[in-house]
């Protein structure tokens, strides 16, 4: 127990101390401080994992002094005042209004303190979030050292990145929604700073939009917290009733869900995350894989057991997630900018997690947590690889990635692995989507959204793969002679190996990490501790399939003839650049129209989500 408490304390404060050192230290020590902080954070998270594994992955509770609660609430008020100031600085009436609303709700919360003792909860869901944040987030911090090497404000950037990790770890283990809200709000502040880091007009506009939407979401979360105390007499997630709720007692869950939708950029709130692509690549990777957007789905997974038995309410959460998956998957097909494709993909995959939470069956909940874990590492790999391409080719457009495997074979391989682990069997993302498909068999509308969304996902990712695999002129470099900096090659290599390795271990990971969380409130069928994962509908032998794929690749490489250089086409004396692309992108007008339709439907569903408890109370 003492080891776990120490590890948790260090996982919060080591990144914060590293951030302070980056902020006040000289530029020449930034590299050493960042490396030491990142490595220490990742190692401590592994120690925490080993310690909890040694105890059989049972839940751990760390009780906190009652006096700390008041300090945290006061700090929450300070953050809200900071938002008020930023609203004035950015001339945003909405941010000012949301900040005043937060201060008003916080004052009522201070007047109605809970009688229960707050505590940190380290269950397997929190452990997964801490591992994602501490390991993947630390890798992104190391990547930032090279990517931001010429930035005059490099120290500030690295400080915010590292502080982000500490605050995310604190949020992941917070069982008191008041504490959770404070850390939630700080991530909003950090995202504002990171998105607007370059201080260009586009960056300022994107940061302002992110601030507007997420302060609005923060107000919704605070309203949910206050209503939790009113209707359930608790601020603790673990004290919420399990299922069989109806009427106005569902209202807190409705507002909490709305807050989660804003943070995870679900329709109609997705614009902030899409516009945030103007930020440096490490910011995109951090927001999409290991921090910000994961917090929304994490929150909904926390309250999912309370939704049991009320299908009429929870199905609208599933519909909002399914709609977000469908619309963003379709829109991703219309894009050629790699970061924007990945942004749409992130919104869509998070939508699948909301869909699973709304369905609420044991298999759906297991699929959601599997998706949360495996999406994080694959999406981090893809964003960081695209950042290397952008730095080397001065473009993020997939149409400019013809012949990429000639000069950057390792980077190309990383993109290939990232895409493969997102859409192809037997990787973890495919397993999660297989489980999701099983959960929608009794929901025809959700099954339709799922089928069309999956088909669209295959189109936009395979279009990208097709470009990478297109023939090129000249001689291909060996992997070891990739022209990208060595630090990038090490980072991409580590993430690629990790993505494949955890997919091979999807069976044990599901049994030891995911099943205990689901089993707290559900009886979970299948998902054994073996190297396979199975349900009543079938089985996935992930390790066996990966072994056969590797064996096939080795056999083909042994017996295939050495490829010759591609002959340059004759162009009558003119240089000919062959590209196998075409005009298959939709016009901006049509993209805008599809987006508006999706936003309208999403907003309608959210309004219905709030109205349903009122209707139930009346009838």
HEC string of 353-374 equals: HHHHHHHCCHHHHHHHHHHHHH
Q: Determine how many CB atoms are found less than 10 A away from the CB of residue 416.
A: 17
User: Does residue 293 surpass a pLDDT of 80?
Assistant: yes
Pick the range with the lowest mean pLDDT from 99-108, 109-118, 453-462, 590-599: 109-118
Q: How far apart are CA 399 and CA 384, in angstroms?
A: 18
Confirm if 95 and 86 have CB atoms less than 8 A apart.
yes
Residue 574 has pLDDT above 70, yes or no: no
What tens digit of pLDDT does each residue of 301-337 get?
999 988 887 788 899 999 999 999 999 999 998 888 9
**CA–CA separation, 284 vs 346, rounded Å?**
11
Query: What is the pLDDT at residue 536?
Result: 46
Q: Which of 24-33, 112-121, 257-266 is predicted most confidently? A: 257-266
Separation in Å, CA 273 to CA 16, 228, 262, 344, 345: 25, 29, 10, 9, 11
DSSP annotation of 62 reads E
Residues 288-309, mean pLDDT to the nearest whole number: 88
Crossing angle of the two packed helices 486-504 and 428-439, in degrees rounded to 10: 40
DSSP 139: H
pLDDT of res. 546: 63
505 within a domain of the structure (yes/no): yes
Average pLDDT on 17-33 reads: 91
Question: How big is the CA angle at 493 (ends 492 and 496), to the nearest 5 degrees?
Answer: 85
Q: In this structure, is residue 238 part of a structural domain?
A: no
**Segment (H or E) for 535:** strand 533-535
Q: Is the pLDDT of residue 245 over 90?
A: no
How many other CB atoms sit within 10 Å of the CB of residue 490? 13
More confident site: 370 or 507: 370
Spatial contact of 518 and 366, defined as CB atoms under 8 Å apart: yes
Range in 6-10, 263-267, 581-585 the model is least confident about: 581-585
**292-303 and 251-263 helices, crossing angle to 10°:** 160
Q: Is the pLDDT of residue 363 over 80?
A: yes
DSSP annotation of 248: G
Nearest to 37 by CA among 195, 202, 225, 164: 164
Average pLDDT in the chain: 87
On whether residue 166 sits in a domain, the answer given is no
pLDDT value, residue 19: 96
The average pLDDT across 224-252 equals: 90
Give the pLDDT band of residue 568 (cuts 50, 70, 90). low
pLDDT at residue number 531: 45
Checking if the pLDDT of 356 tops 80, the result is: yes
Selection from 165, 142, 156, 125 nearest residue 10 by Cα: 165
Residue 68 inside a domain? The answer is: no
Least confident of 74-78, 276-280, 289-293: 289-293
Q: Average pLDDT in the 560-581 region? A: 58
Please give the residue range of the domain that contains residue 456: 310-557
Task: Express as a percent the part of the chain with pLDDT over 70.
Answer: 88
Residue 615 counted as domain residue: no
Cα distance between residue 206 and residue 186, in whole Å:
18
389 or 524: which carries more pLDDT confidence? 389
For residue 268, whether the previous peptide bond is cis, meaning omega lies within 30 degrees of 0, is yes
Q: Report the relative pairing of strands 538-540 and 533-535 from DSSP bridges.
A: antiparallel
Measure Cα distances from 94 to 56, 86, 207, 308, 357 in Å: 48, 11, 14, 35, 30
Arithmetic mean of pLDDT, 440-455: 88
Can you tell me the mean pLDDT for 222-236? 94
- Tell me, yes or no, whether 220 lies in a domain: no
Of the chain, the end-to-end C-alpha distance in Å amounts to 49
Average pLDDT of 58-63? 89
Domain count, the chain: 1
> What is the Cα–Cα distance from 414 to 140, expressed in whole angstroms?
15
pLDDT, tens digit, for every residue of 505-561?
Answer: 887 888 888 888 888 777 665 555 554 455 544 555 555 666 666 667 667 666 665
Global confidence as pTM: 0.92
pLDDT in tens, 472-510: 666 666 766 677 888 999 999 999 999 988 888 887 888
Q: What pLDDT does 563 receive?
A: 53
**Residue 499 in domain:** yes
Question: What is residue 242's predicted lDDT score, i.e. its pLDDT?
Answer: 85
CA–CA gap between residue 528 and residue 513 (Å, rounded): 12
Once rounded to an integer, what is the mean pLDDT over residues 27-37?
A: 93
Cα separations (Å) of 199 from 149, 155, 194, 207, 586?
Answer: 17, 15, 10, 10, 31
Which pLDDT score is estimated for 519?
A: 81
Between 409 and 470, name the one with better pLDDT.
Answer: 409
Segment holding 538, helix H or strand E = strand 538-540
pLDDT over threshold 50, residue 141: yes
- In this structure, of 58-72, 142-156, 163-177, 247-261, the range with the lowest mean pLDDT score is 58-72
Is 61 a member of any domain? no
- Residue count of the chain: 619
Report pLDDT for 439.
83
Residues 6+ apart with CB under 8 A from 351: 266, 267, 320, 321, 322, 323, 324, 325, 328
């Amino acid at each position: 127990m003492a080891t776990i408490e120490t590890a948790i304390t260090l996982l919060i404060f080591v990144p914060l101390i590293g951030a302070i050192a980056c902020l006040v230290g000289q530029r020449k020590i930034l590299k050493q401080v960042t490396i030491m902080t990142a490595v220490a954070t990742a190692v401590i998270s592994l120690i925490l994992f080993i310690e909890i594994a040694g105890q059989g992955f049972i839940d751990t509770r760390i009780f906190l002094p009652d006096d700390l609660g008041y300090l945290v609430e006061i700090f929450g008020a300070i953050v809200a005042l900071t938002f008020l100031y930023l609203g004035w600085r950015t001339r945003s009436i909405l941010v000012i209004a949301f900040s005043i609303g937060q201060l008003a709700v916080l004052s009522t919360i201070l007047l109605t303190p809970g009688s229960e003792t707050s505590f940190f909860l380290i269950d397997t869901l929190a452990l997964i979030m801490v591992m994602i944040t501490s390991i993947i987030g630390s890798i992104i911090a190391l990547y930032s050292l090279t990517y931001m090497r010429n930035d005059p404000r490099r120290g500030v950037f690295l400080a915010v990145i590292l502080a982000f990790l500490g605050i995310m770890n604190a949020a992941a283990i917070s069982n008191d929604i008041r504490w959770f809200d404070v850390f939630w709000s700080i991530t909003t502040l950090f995202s504002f700073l990171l998105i607007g880091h370059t201080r260009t007009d586009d960056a300022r506009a994107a940061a302002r939009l992110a601030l507007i939407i997420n302060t609005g979401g923060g107000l919704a979360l605070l309203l949910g917290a206050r209503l939790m105390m009113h209707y359930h007499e608790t601020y603790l997630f673990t004290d919420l009733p399990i299922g069989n709720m109806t009427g106005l007692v569902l209202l807190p869950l409705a507002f909490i869900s709305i807050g989660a939708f804003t943070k995870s950029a679900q329709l109609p709130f997705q614009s902030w995350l899409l516009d945030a692509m103007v930020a440096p690549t490490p910011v995109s990777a951090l927001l999409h894989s290991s921090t910000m957007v994961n917090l929304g789905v994490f929150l909904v997974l926390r309250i999912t057991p309370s939704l049991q038995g009320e299908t009429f309410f929870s199905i609208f959460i599933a519909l909002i997630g399914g709609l977000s998956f469908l619309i963003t998957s379709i829109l991703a097909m219309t894009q050629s900018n790699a970061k924007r494709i990945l942004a749409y993909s992130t919104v869509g995959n998070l939508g699948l997690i909301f869909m699973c939470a709304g369905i609420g069956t044991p298999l759906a909940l297991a699929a959601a947590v599997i998706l949360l874990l495996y999406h994080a590492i694959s999406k981090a790999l893809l964003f960081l690889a695209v950042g290397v391409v952008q730095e080397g080719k001065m473009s993020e457009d997939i149409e400019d990635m013809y012949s990429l495997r000639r000069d950057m074979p390792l980077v190309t391989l990383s993109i290939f692995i990232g895409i493969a682990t997102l859409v192809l069997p037997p990787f973890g993302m495919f397993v999660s989507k297989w489980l999701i498909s099983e959960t929608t068999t009794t929901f025809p509308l959700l099954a339709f959204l799922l089928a069309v969304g999956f088909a669209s996902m295959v189109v936009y990712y395979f279009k990208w793969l097709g470009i990478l695999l297109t023939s090129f002129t000249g001689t291909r470099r060996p992997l070891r002679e990739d022209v990208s900096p060595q630090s990038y090659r090490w980072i991409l290599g580590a993430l690629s190996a990790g993505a494949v390795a955890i997919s091979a271990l999807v069976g044990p990971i599901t049994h030891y990490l995911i099943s205990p969380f689901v089993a707290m409130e559900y009886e979970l069928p299948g998902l054994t501790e073996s190297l396979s994962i199975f349900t009543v509908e079938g089985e996935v032998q992930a390790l066996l399939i990966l072994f056969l794929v590797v064996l096939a690749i080795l056999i083909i490489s042994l017996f295939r003839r050495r490829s010759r250089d591609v002959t340059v086409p004759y162009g009558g004396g003119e240089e000919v650049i062959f590209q196998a692309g075409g005009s298959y992108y939709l016009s901006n007008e049509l993209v805008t129209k599809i987006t508006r339709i999706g936003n309208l439907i999403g907003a309608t569903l959210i309004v219905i989500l709030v109205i349903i408890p009122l209707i139930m109370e009346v009838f």
